[in-house]
Amino acid sequence: MRRFFFSLVCLLFSASLFSQELSQNLESYQLTVSGENIILSGYKPLSKGQVFTAYFCDQSLNVITTYTKTLPLETKSFFVAKSGELFVFSFYTVGEKVKYKIALDGAFTEKYAAVPKAEAESDDVIISDWTYDATYANEYVIGDLMLDAQLDAITCYSLKDPVQGSYKLKWKKEFDDKIYYKKMELIGINERIAYFQAVELLPECKQLFFSINIDDGDVLFNTELNKADSLDAVSVSSFFVKGNTIYLGGTFSRSEGAKYDFKPTILDNMDNLRRGFDEPSPYIIAATDGYFLMSIDAKSGAIQKMKTFNFPPIDKVVDDRDYRLAVCQGIATLSDGKMVAFYELLSTSFSGISIGSMGSGSNVGGMLKWETDGFTSLIFSSDMSTFDPTTLVWDEETSDYDLTDYDFFSLAPLQEVPHDYCTLGNDGCYPEAFTCDGTNWVFHLRSDDKLIPDYLIRGNESEMKPLKLLPPGLVLLRDVHTGIQIKEAGQSVKVKIVTVN
């Protein structure tokens, strides 16, 4: 998860509110967005977690229908996901065991409400309890299919029981001659094609970008990205398909002289904390030189053109920081025929003092903090013959920028939620998002602190500027002008549609 702590000094640009507003008294509420519909769900106050209520609304927050159910005792939390054509609510006890399940169809008609009795797992059936787990991001749900990307194979399962969350084996693609060592990640899916980035560490480091048909498991192409422009390493964080061309964006490394030796690094002796990671292993750490844009043929995977950009100058003490990164948050087409790629520029620095560990002889240094340096909008022609970058330097103070589950080869945004529909709890699950309407684009900076607002970074071909949203600022972008904002007042939950002028 990422946490932003900003100073409150920022120009507040104009914003207006739709007249529609949904206000209900709920405890432990969640907000779920599914296509054009919105679900506000939670427990009725003073019911001790027994009276569950869900409101099914349209995009204007008009309530279409309401569902209420009295649950067994000891249901302490719940999670909602789209399973096939059903909305499945899973309720958990204190011990995180599933206590109860409710399944509603698209009209919010109850199809199942009982204690789940899942079938036993077999050779071709696996059980998924639909539990959100941010530490495991190799399982992806696409409609009625689930892709499981492991070290040497990609397995596809088809949904067998949407309520119990059981899947049956559909196909499996093995890579017996490759060693990926936990570096195979889904970058995204376009139509029925899934695009993965894989890192082959032995016998030599290669970054591979390949496409696979999710219906039959056929690999359509496999391209070695870091052979382009003599790069040592390429980390793809976003892609966009336009016609017969795939555009890739991310960050790169180019050394002078000897090649990098990208080995998985076990961060022991508390070094993982000094480097900003919660867990000790394995990570691949690398210094980067800037951001890149690449075009490849969508059929053959052949690299067509590539353009690299050094990091823009930032009026901060960047040179004294550990590493810089550029994460491409999105690529889109513009109405005038041009295109835009949007990059978030990050760097790291140490803070704190050394503390001796009693009896161990080791020292714990200051925490490595990721900080936002700025944002770059790269306007380019579709044939990649012209480029016009514009950078907004981020002046707000940022600290404790948590990249816990990231390393150099794992920078793709929005991979923390393994399901195709996003559920927001009290703390949210970080719907950081980039969206573009063809003329303007918006990037959402998410804050965990109720006293500090979220920000929207708005841009077009002539400028970029930040918009500060009112706290607590739980926002999910729906299009370039619109977000959903939740405001709490005691037990009253108010949901408003926020429109950015």
- Torsion, Cα 444 447 451 455, to 10 degrees, reads -20
- Residue 162 DSSP class: T
pLDDT grade for 178, boundaries at 50, 70 and 90? low
CA angle 374, 380, 385 (to 5 degrees): 135
Q: pLDDT by residue (tens digit) across 311-340?
A: 998 766 554 445 788 999 999 999 999 999
CB 440 within 8 A of CB 458: yes
Mean pLDDT of 14-31: 67
Higher pLDDT pick, 302 / 398 = 302
* Cis peptide, bond prior to residue 72, ω within 30 of zero: no
Mean pLDDT across 412-421: 50
pLDDT > 80? residue 259? no
**What is residue 10's predicted lDDT score, i.e. its pLDDT?**
28
**Range of 125-129, 151-155, 275-279, 379-383 with top mean pLDDT:** 379-383
pLDDT surpasses 60 at 424: no
Amino acid type, 97: K
Query: To which H or E segment does residue 271 belong?
Result: helix 271-274
Q: What pLDDT is recorded for position 356?
A: 34
For residue 298, name the pLDDT band (cuts at 50, 70, 90).
very high
- Tell me the three state secondary structure of residue 180: coil
Which residues face 56 on adjacent strands?
39, 65
Contacts 24+ apart (CB under 8 A), 295-300: 295/245, 295/246, 295/247, 295/248, 295/384, 296/209, 296/223, 296/245, 296/246, 296/248, 297/244, 297/245, 297/246, 298/241, 298/243, 298/244, 298/245, 298/246, 299/220, 299/221, 299/244, 300/221
98 bridge partner residues: 92
Average pLDDT, the chain: 76
Judged against a pLDDT cut of 80, whether residue 400 lies above it is answered with no
Mean pLDDT within 442-468: 82
Measure the CA–CA gap between 52 and 91, rounded to whole angstroms: 10
- SS3 category, 282: coil
Contacts 24+ apart (CB under 8 A), 314-317: 314/345, 314/347, 314/373, 314/374, 314/393, 315/393, 316/347, 316/373, 317/349
What pLDDT shows up at residue 236?
A: 92
Distance CA 292, CA 26 (A): 46
Q: What are the φ and ψ backbone dihedral angles of 207, each rounded to 5 degrees? A: -105, 115
Can you give the pLDDT at residue 364? 39
User: DSSP string spanning 338-397?
Assistant: -EEEEEEEEEEEEES--EEPTTT--EE-PEEEEEEEEEEEEEE-TTS--EEEEEEE--S-
pLDDT band at 394 (very low <50, low <70, confident <90, very high): confident
Give residue for tokens 């060592």: 181
- Tell me how many degrees the CA angle 186-188-190 measures, rounded to the nearest 5: 135
272 secondary structure, DSSP code: H
Residue closest to 102 by CA, chosen among 83, 110, 94: 110
Residue 278 or 325, more confident: 325
- In sequence order, the β-bridge partners of residue 195 are 188, 211
